[in-house]
């Protein structure tokens, strides 16, 4: 039997969830679910200088909001430093890593010199020449140090990536990577490899920007005597002009997309298609459908364009097709933000059902539906229409009829339209425009019976009368 599939999402919390990180999390989640495996959350927070208050809580709540549940974790690397230090010691003992006492200032001067000579700004290996005794002496003196990985100077490393296939890196491109920093915390590389091993990760699925770290990681696995997991590096995310996707939070934060009124369902569906293609040309997939369809084999090498227009289009599809109650529930907060009261749930549902045909973001809903909450204002052109003799007679007739009607059904509205048409000898635009203007503030708008139904009799009559007064209260 194959061992259980175990994958992880290993973010370094920055305070917000980048859409690229959401894709990494999603593909790991899908792969785990597809293969009845485990999806693990590991917080890679060993860089103390990047600590952001509340970042982890925010990350977890955003994952919950889009439905990415994990089976294990969160593990925190900042709570596991002793484990990494132990392994760093083992590496030193076998000569696979060494203490380096060069100060940041010395390193910077040497780096500048290397660049002037046209060389790569890599560590020159100076402390590798220290004897064990010298190193021990300096440690005893309390000199500050880091621990570096000893990387071969020649030859190349070849490995297989599930997406990139055969990958070759010459060792002279690889630096003697710092494994433990002078504050005693591990770097990403050491902690990542140790944890992937200890947490029995079978597949590492992450962004392409980590591909160049693989040689160091494989060297660590080898030196620690461990078997490396399989790797899959996901294609870069690009702007429509093919430049690398921005890191500006406002453009790429999952939280901000949700706040604008992109539905979680849309975001998941959209992000799933950034670099993975299902068989066939279907584009709309729910999360369970994605689980069924997902495979690492269908991930492409080519960069994936993040097209915000397509995201909005897809959100429009979800707004129109998801269950009305769900949309209504999700839209509530946007009405509350504007201070628009929702008193009658049934009418609110009708309102949302009307609005969802016309917007592509939930946040556009109260803007589109504003006239249901605030009486219309009229401009000069509107007044010209409203003050025509026939319009006035029409509005008076309607105010009167609505006022005295016991209840107003769609049939009664149809009858009233026919009656007014005959009585006043008007039809088409002359009939509909003044009514819509009075009730809705524009000659184009919802079906009159829907409009009157949602506004209610009293408000409809008020609006007709206000229009008769030329818009004055």
Residues with catalytic roles: 247
Strand order in the sheet with 38-43: 72-76, 38-43, 6-9, 203-207, 230-234
CA distances from 315 to 246, 258, 295, 312 (A): 22, 11, 24, 5
* Alpha-carbon 244 to chain mean position: 17
Q: Minimum Å distance from CB 28 to ligand GLU?
A: 9
Q: Minimum Å distance from CB 40 to ligand GLU?
A: 11
Rounded CA separation 167/160 (Å): 6
Q: Minimum Å distance from CB 44 to ligand GLU?
A: 4
Q: Minimum Å distance from CB 298 to ligand GLU?
A: 20
Residues 6, 148, 189, 206: which binds ligand GLU (CB under 6 A)? Answer: 206
- Report CA Rg, the chain: 32
Of the candidate spans 8-16, 149-157, 351-359, 375-383, the one that interacts with ligand GLU by CB under 6 A turns out to be 8-16
Contact 245, 238 (CB under 8 A): yes
Q: Minimum Å distance from CB 69 to ligand GLU?
A: 19
Q: Show contacts with ligand GLU in window 210-229 (CB under 6 A).
A: 210
Contact 362, 334 (CB under 8 A): yes
Of the candidate spans 9-17, 142-150, 155-163, 358-366, the one that interacts with ligand GLU by CB under 6 A turns out to be 9-17
**Is residue 192 a contact residue for ligand GLU (CB under 6 A)?**
yes
Contact 171, 154 (CB under 8 A): yes
Burial of 266 (0-12, 13-18, 19+ CB in 10 A): buried
Helices (H), 149-210: 188-198
Rounded CA separation 21/252 (Å): 10
28 vs 266 by CB, closer to ligand GLU: 28
Q: Show contacts with ligand GLU in window 43-82 (CB under 6 A).
A: 44
CA distances from 279 to 103, 271, 275, 294, 301 (A): 55, 17, 13, 10, 16
Of the candidate spans 6-14, 135-143, 218-226, 323-331, the one that interacts with ligand GLU by CB under 6 A turns out to be 6-14
**DSSP count for the chain of H helices, then E strands:** 22, 12
Of the candidate spans 7-15, 254-262, 263-271, 318-326, the one that interacts with ligand GLU by CB under 6 A turns out to be 7-15
19 vs 431 by CB, closer to ligand GLU: 19
Q: Minimum Å distance from CB 192 to ligand GLU?
A: 5
Rounded CA separation 223/53 (Å): 36
**Is residue 11 a contact residue for ligand GLU (CB under 6 A)?**
yes
Number of residues that bind ligand GLU (CB under 6 A): 8
Find all residues with CB under 8 Å of 383, minimum gap 6, and list them.
470, 471
176 vs 208 by CB, closer to ligand GLU: 208
Residues 27-46: x where in contact with ligand GLU by CB under 6 A, - otherwise, as a string: -----------------x--
Residues 166-185: x where in contact with ligand GLU by CB under 6 A, - otherwise, as a string: --------------------
Rounded CA separation 51/12 (Å): 9
Of the candidate spans 5-13, 167-175, 335-343, 385-393, the one that interacts with ligand GLU by CB under 6 A turns out to be 5-13
Q: Minimum Å distance from CB 195 to ligand GLU?
A: 9
**Is residue 395 a contact residue for ligand GLU (CB under 6 A)?**
no
The two three-digit tokens of residue 152, written as one number: 């071969």
End-to-end CA distance of the chain: 78
Q: Minimum Å distance from CB 191 to ligand GLU?
A: 9
11 vs 215 by CB, closer to ligand GLU: 11
188 vs 318 by CB, closer to ligand GLU: 188
Residues 5, 7, 10, 448: which binds ligand GLU (CB under 6 A)? Answer: 10
Q: What is the 3-state secondary structure (H, E, C) of 221-260?
A: HHHHCCCCCEEEEECCEECCCCCECCCCHHHHEHHHHHHH
212 vs 222 by CB, closer to ligand GLU: 212
10 vs 157 by CB, closer to ligand GLU: 10
What are the residues binding ligand GLU (CB under 6 A)? 10-12, 44, 188, 192, 206, 210
């Amino acid at each position: 039997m194959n061992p259980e599939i175990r994958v992880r999402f290993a973010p370094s919390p920055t305070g917000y969830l980048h859409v690229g990180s959401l894709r990494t999390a999603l593909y790991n989640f899908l792969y785990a679910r597809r293969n009845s495996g485990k999806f693990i959350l590991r917080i890679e927070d060993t860089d103390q200088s990047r600590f952001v208050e509340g970042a982890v809580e925010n990350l977890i709540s955003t994952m919950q909001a889009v439905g990415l549940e994990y089976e294990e974790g969160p593990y925190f690397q900042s709570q596991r430093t002793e484990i990494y230090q132990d392994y760093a010691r083992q590496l030193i003992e076998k000569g696979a890593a060494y203490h380096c006492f060069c100060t940041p200032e010395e390193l910077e001067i040497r780096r500048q010199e290397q660049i002037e000579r046209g060389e790569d700004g890599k560590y020159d290996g100076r402390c590798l020449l220290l004897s064990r005794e010298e190193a021990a002496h300096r440690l005893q003196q309390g000199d500050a140090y880091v621990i570096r990985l000893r990387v071969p100077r020649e030859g190349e490393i070849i490995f297989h990536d599930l997406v990139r296939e055969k990958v070759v890196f010459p060792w002279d491109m690889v630096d003697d990577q710092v494994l433990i920093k002078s504050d005693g915390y591990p770097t990403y590389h050491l902690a990542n490899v140790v944890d992937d091993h200890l947490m029995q990760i079978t597949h590492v699925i992450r962004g392409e920007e980590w591909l160049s770290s693989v040689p160091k990681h494989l060297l660590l696995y080898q030196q620690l005597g461990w078997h490396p997991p399989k790797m899959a590096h996901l294609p870069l995310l690009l702007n429509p002009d093919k430049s690398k996707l921005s890191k500006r939070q406002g453009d790429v934060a999952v939280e901000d997309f949700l706040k604008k009124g992109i539905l979680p369902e849309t975001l998941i569906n959209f992000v799933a298609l950034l670099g993975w293609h299902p068989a066939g040309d279907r584009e709309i997939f729910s999360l369970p459908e994605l689980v069924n369809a997902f495979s690492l084999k269908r991930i492409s090498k080519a960069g994936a364009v993040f097209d915000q227009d397509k995201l909005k289009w897809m959100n429009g599809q979800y707004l129109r097709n998801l269950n009305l109650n769900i949309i209504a529930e999700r839209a509530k907060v946007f009405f509350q933000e504007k201070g628009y009261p929702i008193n009658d749930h049934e009418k609110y549902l009708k309102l949302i059902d009307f609005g969802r045909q016309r917007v592509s973001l939930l946040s556009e809903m109260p803007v589109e539906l504003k006239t249901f909450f605030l009486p219309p204002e009229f401009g000069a052109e509107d007044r010209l229409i409203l003050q025509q003799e026939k319009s006035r007679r029409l509005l008076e007739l309607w105010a009167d009829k609505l006022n005295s009607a016991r209840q107003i059904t769609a049939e009664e509205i149809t009858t009233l339209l026919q009656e007014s048409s005959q009585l006043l000898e008007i039809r088409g635009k002359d009939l509909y425009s003044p009514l819509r203007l009075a009730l809705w503030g524009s000659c184009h708008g919802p079906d009159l019976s829907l409009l009157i139904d949602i506004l209610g009799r009293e408000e409809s009559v008020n609006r007709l009368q206000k229009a008769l007064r030329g818009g004055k209260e």
